[in-house]
C-alpha cells in the first residue's frame, strides 16, 4: 500500500474533527535503520536502530506535527501562521503553509540558523525576520504578536504539533512489533520528547504494545537548562537547532523522564561532532549536528556502563545533514587538489 502521510495513516489516534482535510507532503514512514557498525563503535551489545527523520519532505521531524497544525489552521479558515524557530520549524511551516495557500511569518535568531533552513523558508515564500536575540526571545515575540493579530502560532505550544509528532513513536512500535527498551533523542524546546512519550503511552494504553521505553533526552552542554534546572539567557552550541535556553515543554520533558524511569543529560559540542561524523562515516546517514546529540548521549551512557546487554535501542536522528553545509565543511578535510592527470591522481589516491 502506498503511504498516505501521518494524518491518513494514524487518524484514529489523532483528535481531529471530520472536517479537517489533510494538508500533506506524505511525511512520515521514515526509515528505521539497523546500525550494527555504529553499535560496535559505541560499545553497545544490543540492537541500535536509527529513526531517520531527515527523510521527511522538508528534511526534519517537524513535518509530522506541521501537517496536523496546518491542516487544522486551514480547516479553521486561518489566513496566516507564525512561528519562532531555530530553523527546522520555520522550513516546515513555510512549506506546509505554501501547500495550504496560507501566509507564513517566521522569526529567527540572526546568524544562528543553518543556511539550508533559511533558504527553505525563503523559497517557500515565508516572510522571515531575523532578530538580534535568541530563539527564546523570538518565541516570546511570536506569542505576543499572536495575542493581538489574526495569526495562528505553529510552534509546539500549538497542541496539534505534538499530536502529529507522536506518530514517530507509533511507527517505531509498528516496525519493531513492540516498544524498544530505550529511546534516545535530542532535546531543545522539548516538544519532541514530550510527543514521543505521549505516543508510547497511548499505544500501551490501547494494548497495541505491552511495554514502554525509557526516554533518554540529551541537550547540548551549552544549552542544557533541563539539566541545570535553570533557564539560560545565552545558550550556545554548534548544534544551533537546539540552542534554546527556556524550553516551552519543560514540564513535558520532565514527565517523560520521570514516568519512563529515563534520563535527561547533556553532551558537549565535541561529543556531538564526534557522533555526527560517526553516523555519517559508519552508517551512511548524514544528519545535522543537533540530530547527533541522541547518539552522543548513547555513547556517553555506554561508556559509563549504564546500558545493559542486549537491549533494543532507538536513536532519533531529527534532521538532514544537508541543511547545515557550513558545519560539515568546517569539520571535514577539504578535497585533495590535483591537475587533470591520471598518474598524479593515482599517486594521491595511493592505489
Residues of this chain that bind ligand F0G (CB under 6 A): 60, 62, 85-89, 156, 186-192, 241-242, 288, 290-291, 318-319
Q: How far apart are the first and last CA of the chain?
A: 46
Of 29 and 318, CB closest to ligand F0G: 318
Least distance between ligand F0G and beta carbon 255 (Å): 14
Least distance between ligand F0G and beta carbon 60 (Å): 5
Least distance between ligand F0G and beta carbon 85 (Å): 3
Helices (H), the chain: 6-10, 36-42, 62-75, 88-100, 115-123, 135-148, 159-165, 167-176, 191-205, 225-228, 250-259, 269-283, 293-303, 325-330, 342-349
Cα separation of 106 and 121, whole Å? 8
Of 9 and 288, CB closest to ligand F0G: 288
Least distance between ligand F0G and beta carbon 306 (Å): 22
Cα separation of 273 and 327, whole Å? 9
Of 22 and 164, CB closest to ligand F0G: 164
Q: Residue holding cell 495569526? A: 151
Of 30 and 86, CB closest to ligand F0G: 86
Considering only CA atoms, which of 259, 251, 227, 282 is closest in space to residue 35?
282
Between CA 213 and CA 218, with CA 215 as vertex, the angle to 5 degrees is: 150
Least distance between ligand F0G and beta carbon 142 (Å): 11
Of 41 and 190, CB closest to ligand F0G: 190
In terms of DSSP bridges, do strands 32-34 and 47-52 run parallel, antiparallel, or are they unpaired?
A: antiparallel
Of 155 and 209, CB closest to ligand F0G: 155
Of 283 and 305, CB closest to ligand F0G: 283
Of 24 and 85, CB closest to ligand F0G: 85
Least distance between ligand F0G and beta carbon 56 (Å): 11
Considering only CA atoms, which of 242, 214, 241, 192 is closest in space to residue 314?
214
Phi, psi of 265 (to 5 degrees): -140, 180
Least distance between ligand F0G and beta carbon 291 (Å): 5
Q: What is the DSSP string of 114-177?
A: -HHHHHHHHHTT-EEEEESS-HHHHHHHHHHHHHHSS-EE-STTSHHHHHHHTHHHHHHHHHHT
Least distance between ligand F0G and beta carbon 206 (Å): 24
Amino acid at each position: 500500500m502506498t503511504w498516505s502521510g501521518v494524518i491518513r495513516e494514524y487518524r484514529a489516534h489523532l483528535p481531529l474533527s471530520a472536517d479537517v482535510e489533510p494538508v500533506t507532503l506524505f511525511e512520515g514512514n521514515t526509515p528505521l535503520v539497523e546500525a550494527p557498525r555504529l553499535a560496535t563503535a559505541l560499545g553497545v551489545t544490543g540492537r541500535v536502530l536509527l529513526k531517520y527523520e531527515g527523510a521527511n519532505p522538508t528534511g526534519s521531524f517537524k513535518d509530522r506535527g506541521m501537517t496536523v497544525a496546518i491542516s487544522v489552521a486551514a480547516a479553521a479558515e486561518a489566513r496566516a501562521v507564525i512561528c519562532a524557530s531555530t530553523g527546522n520549524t520555520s522550513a516546515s511551516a513555510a512549506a506546509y503553509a505554501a501547500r495550504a495557500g496560507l501566509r507564513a511569518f517566521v522569526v529567527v535568531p540572526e546568524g544562528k540558523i543553518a543556511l539550508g533552513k533559511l533558504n527553505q523558508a525563503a523559497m517557500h515564500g515565508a516572510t522571515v525576520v531575523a532578530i538580534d536575540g535568541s530563539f527564546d526571545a523570538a518565541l516570546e515575540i511570536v506569542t505576543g504578536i499572536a495575542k493581538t493579530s489574526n495569526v495562528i502560532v505553529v510552534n509546539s505550544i500549538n497542541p496539534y504539533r505534538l499530536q502529529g509528532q507522536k506518530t514517530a513513536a507509533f511507527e517505531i512500535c509498528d516496525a519493531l512489533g513492540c516498544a524498544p527498551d530505550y529511546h534516545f533523542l535530542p532535546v531543545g524546546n522539548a516538544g519532541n520528547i514530550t510527543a514521543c512519550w505521549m505516543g508510547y503511552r497511548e499505544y500501551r494504553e490501547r494494548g497495541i504494545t505491552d511495554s514502554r521505553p525509557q526516554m533518554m533526552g540529551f541537550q547540548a552542554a551549552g544549552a542544557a537548562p533541563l539539566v541545570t534546572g535553570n533557564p539560560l539567557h545565552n545558550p550556545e552550541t554548534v548544534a544551533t537547532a537546539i540552542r534554546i535556553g527556556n524550553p516551552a515543554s519543560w514540564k513535558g520533558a520532565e514527565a517523560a523522564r520521570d514516568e519512563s524511569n529515563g534520563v535527561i543529560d547533556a553532551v558537549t559540542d565535541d561529543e556531538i561532532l564526534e557522533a555526527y561524523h560517526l553516523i555519517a562515516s559508519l552508517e551512511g546517514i548524514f544528519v545535522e549536528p543537533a540530530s547527533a546529540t541522541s547518539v552522543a548521549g548513547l555513547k556517553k551512557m555506554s561508556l559509563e556502563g549504564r546500558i545493559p546487554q542486549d537491549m533494543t535501542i532507538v536513536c532519533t536522528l531529527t534532521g538532514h545533514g544537508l541543511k547545515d553545509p557550513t558545519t560539515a565543511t568546517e569539520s571535514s578535510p577539504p578535497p585533495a587538489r590535483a591537475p587533470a592527470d591520471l598518474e598524479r591522481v593515482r599517486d594521491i589516491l595511493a592505489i
